[in-house]
Structure 1
Amino acid sequence: MKNFIKLVNFELNRFFPIYAALGILTIMLQVVGVFITSNDYIFQIEEQTKMGIVKESAIILEIGQMGMTRFTGSLWFGGPIALCVVTLLIYSLFIWYRDWFGKNTFIYRLLMLPTERLNLYLSKAVAIFLMVLGLVALQLVLLLVERQLFSMLIPAAYIKTSTISQIILGSEYLLVLYPTSFIAVLANYSRGFIAILVLFTLILLERSFKIKGLLLAGIYALATLIVLFAPYWIQAIFNRQLFFTSELFWITLALTFVVGAVSIWISHRLLNRRITV
């Protein structure tokens, strides 16, 4: 366990400069977005006033109240989140290929460490997962700050006050990050973690068998999709609702864990039998 924690810490430290820059950029872009969105809304109020509409209720009838959902649906809010997602996806590939193609083929030094090779695989996955959780936590804090900023910048009569729960419920992608129930949290984040494991398994297949590995990785990826969506395809084939919504949820979640277990098993065998130092 001690070696595993050291490996996780090592992976986190390697990416920390870029990770910190990503967090700072997210904060800057979203806060700037709050000010720009607020100024645009105040400009609309002023335009209505110039047209002779002075009653607050009449202006609200024309342009609506300013709420957080209007901001969370903008590029200023969604853009930084998309940037974080894309960056972590790219790094999920880079975290392996950097070690193989970097100076002195660093992967072989890692494989010679006095620890189970599976720890190397799992430590990289856990590091990525912890980075995701860190950005999710940062975004939740930012939601609180941004809501407060809007209340300071926009006149009270024009603000549509919302709780954090209401803000999350008003955004489809925020609901993915912050599900409304513990079971949904467990399901969403376990699926995300297992998706990382599957991606790492695809990389190890390619690294183990080179050109043939690309084909094997493609077959495994296709097989994974077939397994995960099997309940939906079965219903489509029979053209009838064979499962209740709750049943579909638990079946697909169980299949996700099966895929995760198979990915760990395949990666363990590849690391110990195909990749040699």
Structure 2
Amino acid sequence: MNQGQIEIKTPEFVSLNYQIAGLGSRGAAMLIDQLLLLVANIVIYLIFLMANVSDIFYLSDSWVPVAVAIILVFIINWGYFFVAEFFFGGKTLGKKLIGIRVIQENGHSITLLSSLIRNLLRIIDMLPTSYFLGMVFIFFHSKHKRLGDMVAGTIVVHERAAKKEGTSKIDKEILRRGLTKDSLALKDFALRSLGKKEWELLRIYSGKFLNIKLNDRVQLTRQLATKLLPKIGLDARDKEILELENILLTLYLITKDEWEYEL
């Protein structure tokens, strides 16, 4: 294993390799996020200040709009990281631009509780100023974790650009079938259930799809559909084999977009 990389073995005996994000990339992502929040904070303060001066709120106490603005800024500054990391695959805007994401130590997507914990502890990591304590932890920890990551059981890893699509046999088969990521409408909870583990299973399935006998493909399709479809709220028992194949190949497209990286 190269320095700065980590191998995670899932309960299904799938090995997942990640390149851990260090202080430089995490610091760059944080700088982008802080600049974004700074602009948002300034806009909020200006709006409330102008509203107060022009007496739009019609309040006798001039400090009330300012107090509301302070509370709103606090919620945005803390809630931004929590909401972005949980609902957008472990990525704030800064992390997305730098190419890193937060995941669980077991390789799964970050959970609601983990996102809540790691971002609540951001208050401690910011001490005494400018994330000094957090940077010290990241620099010296073997997996580049700040305090929030240690308590929440999360790590921050690198992503790389996805491989070019449309050149492999399976890509051509998917194109022939007219399948896209939009061929299957999934709710947010379903998308969050499709992590690196599911991607590995679908990657193996797609690799074998055109290279095995028809009977073996039918058996493999039913086995994988029985395992994965309940995760996204679908029942595999009432579907024909062609429909199951199309669903699994569409899931392959969806997870490929998120998880196929060159590390």
Q: Normalising by structure 2, what TM-score?
A: 0.35
1 or 2 for the larger relative contact order (CA 8 Å, sep ≥6)? 1
Q: Normalising by structure 1, what TM-score?
A: 0.33
> Greater helix share, 1 or 2?
1
Report the structure number with the largest CA radius of gyration.
1
